[in-house]
Each structure stands twice: as structure tokens, then as C-alpha cells.
Structure 1
Amino acid sequence: MTPSSRSLLLAEVAQATLRLADAGVPSPRFDAEELAAYVHGTDRTKLQLVPDADFDARYWETIARREAREPLQHITGRAFFRYLELRVGPGVFVPRPETESVVGWAIEAVRAMDVAEPVVVDLCTGSGAIALALAQEVPRSRVHAVELDEGALAWARRNVEGSRVVLHHGDALSALPELDGQVDLVISNPPYIPLTEWERVAPEARDHDPELSLFSGEDGLDTIRGLERTAHRLLRPGGVIVVEHADTQGGQVPWLFPEDQGWADAADRPDLNNRPRFTTARRVAP
């Protein structure tokens, strides 16, 4: 294959990158390449191998959608999370890369427990990303996932089909009373954006993610306050909660897990950019 026979797609990707950058897309080059790979049935590392004659003009339809700030994952119908490829689309929160470090910490915590078959509960599961990652990477775990929103639940059902994850339709704040005092780890990526921050939220999230998955009261912490009570009920003594929050909420969330309410070692943990991203706490005996 001569250089000229494989230059068209890369030239189009370069032009698309400029368009996406002008539209304010945070990762214009990556998105332009990912959409090119999606349309042409290849991956980003092999775009230069697509012959000019195979260029598909539908590529520009996907670029126009991304230019309008439709999420990349809604266009391709897939999201990558740790070692998983998930099906996503309108009606479900798209898992973010920063949550991978939250799950990584939780996986190490469960592996360190002296428990043959640890019981894990993922509250506000959305697409099922967290629950599936734990089930995959901690093979002996028994993982339960809870989701209230019916739209998100439909996507979670698709993703957990054939896995060991047990999916429950219900409210995270009253979920799974049959597991009270038996759970080793509770994990959640709950809504935590303050209602006052609506205008500052990226269009991909504000206009496309379910509102139920984003906002939680004036300070963004209403759901986490409720999760503290749920986790206190579900966890055995020595069990651990892991809950994601905004980096701007660092220092606030650990105070929601006080010692006088049966918690110990409440602390913020950093993400890969060394920003406070999630809080962990240990349930102590009553």
C-alpha cells in the first residue's frame, strides 16, 4: 500500500480534530480518531491502514453529533472501564475514567480481607460498571448491584447478563435489608453535584446523563448522607464503604462518617491526578 492510498482518512481526522476543538470538546484528537475507528470497523492504531477507497462519509455525521456535544459513548454505543467494554446510551450515566481508581482501591481492599467469598454491594450502579469490575477482578466475590432509575436499569441488565452480578431494582437508601450486617464492602458512585452548579456542568453530562445520576441537593451531599445510613446497616463490623465524590468536596465527606456513629478511619483518597476523589471508612462493632 502506497503512502498516498492511506492518507485520506488521516487528513479527515485532522480536520475533524479542529472542528471538535472549536466546539469545546475536551479531547478532540482522541474523539476524532475513536469515531473514525468506529465508523470504519477498526481501532485507533490502524487508521492509517484504511484505504482511500474505503473512506466512509458517515464519519462526518458522527463528527457533527460530537460537535453538538453528544457524548462519544452514545454515538459508538460503548464505554470502556478498566477491563470491560460496556453498552451505554441515552438514559444511563456514562462511566468516567476517574472512577477506575475508586474501583481499584475497593478491589485491593476486598482482596486483603480474610473472607472466602466476600459480599459486595454496589449502590447507584448505573450501567453496572463498578459491580462488573469487582465481579471480574475478585472472582470469589458475591456482588449485588442496585439501581432505581428504570432507564439505567435497562442498560445494566444488558451489561450484567451472563455475569455473576445480581441486579436489584430499588432505592439505594432502603436496599437489601436481607443483607443487613452481612456485607464486606459497600461501594457507590452516587449523584454528588450541587443543584447550584447546574450551569457549570459539561454539556455531555448535563444534557445527556440522567438528572437522577448527577444532582443531589444544595451541597451535592444529600445522597451520600443517606448512603452512610444504608452502609451502616448493611456492613458487618470491619466492613468498608467506598464512596466517590467531587474533588471540590474533599475534606467534607469524611465528616459524614463520624466515630460516634460507628465509623473508624474515615479519610479521603486521591485519584490518579492526586485530587481527593473518594472517601473510605470502616464500620466498627456497635
Structure 2
Amino acid sequence: MTFDDYAVEPDSEDSSRPLVRTRLSEAIAAAVADLSAAGVASPRVDAEILAAHVLEIPRGRLLLVDSVRPDELRRLRALVAERARRVPLQHLLGTAAFRHLELAVGDGVFVPRPETELLAGWGIEHTAPGATVVDLCSGTGAIALSVADESAAGRVVAVERSPVALGYLRRNAAGFPAVEVVQGDVTDPSLLSGLRGAVDVLLCNPPYVPEGTPVPPEVADHDPAEAVFGGADGLTVIRPVVQRAAELLRPGGVVGIEHDDVHGAALPELLRADGRFTEVTAHPDLTGRPRYATARRT
């Protein structure tokens, strides 16, 4: 059964006429069928999250709901249709979950991914009380705001180039007094010149997918290309990030940079070749694929 099997009736203005309700389990099953047919990777999860969003309840409470009203069914059906067209789930919700945060997202800003939580966690672990932290290519501010939220950093500087992404970053950063938003380009040698040699932790999730790499429709059609692709080899932005890290970090400061799984050897080699880093370490994600590299400034 899919949503095409339902004829959704309008809400009745006649209070004496009972509303025709649909069992929630059936509505979710129809949503799962539609999303599966559209090739969505996690149809059950997405269907349940959308249902919880429509009902304005936590997903874990869906089992306590027996049925949905016609207006709720219409809203769910519309959202499922959008998701079946491969509009990102986070765009439909208006937010993306990242560690302990709910971040505003939408067209023009990269949706943060769960694997980046590992880099953010590493950065938090290495942030001492009062430390100065820089997050390059900040996007929504996922890394920067997580550091501000979960550590006692004295100052967190979030750098982003895109005017559209900056709007989301500033919105998300509201309420975090330790976070300073800066519009800047990581390829600019003068970036954050006032912080040269004074940064304790530098983190970055740059665009790193090699040009021409096939990506899902959610990425190809909705994530900004400048936040996804990093040139022919995926290292076009990473190379200047390594340079900025060497310039900005104090002696003993640390850097963490996320990368594509084809860069498991390339990024550590870039850090070693720079000559200003030690303790270069490669880190896998939860699936065992190479995901980020870290180092310490000599």
C-alpha cells in the first residue's frame, strides 16, 4: 500500500460529522513504500521522522499514537512526496541534528553529516579551558558550536566564505557568546592574521569530494557544490587549509581536518610534507573508512 491508495478527505466543517481517521501504522507503511520505491536509503527511519514531525512528538512516542487526522495525513503525504523527490530530510524538517544541537539548514548550506561528529568530538577533547579554537569552512557552524557547547573554550572563531551559509551560521550561533563569526576564504594568506601563532585548536571540514565523483541526488541537487567538491583530486581546498593551520597554530597547538575516504594517505602526507607538524595521525570513521587526520604544530 502507498499513499496513492488513500483518498484524503478534507476536514469537515460540520462538527456533527465525525472525522475520518487513518491508522498511523498504515500511514507510515504507505510512506515507507513510497520512499523505498524512490530509492531513499533509509525509508523506515525517514517515514517515522516525518510522521513525528507532523504530529509534533518525539519519534519514540509514535507507538503511543493510534491514528492521524485527515489534515495530518495530508501534511505527511506532502512531505513524503517531497522526500521521494530526494529533497533532503533535513530541509523538510528545517533542522539537522548534530551531537547535542539542532541546527537550522536549508538550500545554500551544506547539511552536516554524522561522521563529522567524530572530528568535532576530537576537537572538544583537545580544547582546554580558555582555549582559542578556529573552525574553517564552518558552514552551519556544526563543529564550532559543538565546541562552544561542550567545552570551556574561551574563544571560538567560525570562518565561512559563502554569504548564504553565513546567514545560517549567524542564526545558529545566536546565543553562543564565545563564538565569533567571520566571513573569510581559507585560500587567503591574510585570513585571521591577528591570530597567527595564537590558536590552540584548528578544525576544518572542507569541501573534499573529487570532481566527477557520483553523489546522491540529495547532495547533487541541494548541497552547494562549492561545499562538496574540492577540485580534480579533492585536495584543492585542503592544501591551503594545511597552510593556514601551520600559520595560525601556536607551538603545540593541534589541527584536525576531515577528508574523503580516498585521502587516507594523501592528507597525512600533506601534513608531514609541510614540515611544521608532528604526531600526524589518521583516524577512521565508525565504518572503518579513513575520515580525518590530526597533527600537532611543532
Q: What TM-score do the two structures reach when normalised by structure 1?
A: 0.92
Q: Does 1:141 align with 2:141?
A: no
- Which residue is 2:185 aligned to? 171
**Distance of aligned partners of 1:261 and 1:247 in 2 relative to their CA distance in 1, 3 Å threshold:** same
3-state DSSP class of the match of 2:212? helix
Q: Does 1:87 align with 2:101?
A: no
- Which residue is 1:279 aligned to? 293
- Which residue is 2:81 aligned to? 64
- Which residue is 1:237 aligned to? 251
Aligned-residue sequence identity (percent) comes to: 47
CA distance in 2, matches of 1:75, 1:53: 19
Counterparts of residues 20-169 of structure 1 (less than 5 Å): 20-52=35-67, 54-55=69-70, 56=72, 57-111=74-128, 116-163=129-176, 164-169=178-183
Q: State the AA in 1 paired with 2:48.
A: E
3-state DSSP class of the match of 2:77? helix
8 Å CA contact retained: 2:22, 2:69: no
8 Å CA contact retained: 2:147, 2:153: no
1:54 Cα deviation (Å)?
A: 2.9
Structure 2 unaligned spans of 5+: 1-19
Q: What TM-score do the two structures reach when normalised by structure 2?
A: 0.88
Please identify, of 153-162 and 167-176, the stretch whose mean Cα deviation from structure 2 is larger: 167-176
Q: Does 1:266 align with 2:280?
A: yes
CA distance in 1, matches of 2:264, 2:22: 47
Deviation string, structure 1 residues 10-46 (Cα, Å, up to 9, x no partner):
2111121121112111111110000111111112111
8 Å CA contact retained: 1:102, 1:271: no
CA distance in 1, matches of 2:66, 2:276: 64
Structure 1 unaligned spans of 5+: none
- Which residue is 1:196 aligned to? 212
- Which residue is 1:256 aligned to? 270
CA RMSD after TM alignment = 1.6
8 Å CA contact retained: 1:6, 1:50: no
**Distance of aligned partners of 1:146 and 1:53 in 2 relative to their CA distance in 1, 3 Å threshold:** closer
How many residues of Structure 1 are paired with residues of Structure 2 in the alignment?
A: 274
CA distance in 2, matches of 1:260, 1:92: 31
8 Å CA contact retained: 1:6, 1:51: no
Q: State the AA in 2 paired with 1:211.
A: A
Q: Which has the larger radius of gyration?
A: 2
3-state DSSP class of the match of 1:196? coil
8 Å CA contact retained: 1:6, 1:48: no
- Which residue is 2:28 aligned to? 13
1:231 Cα deviation (Å)?
A: 0.6
Runs of 4+ off more than 6 Å: none
CA distance in 2, matches of 1:252, 1:21: 37
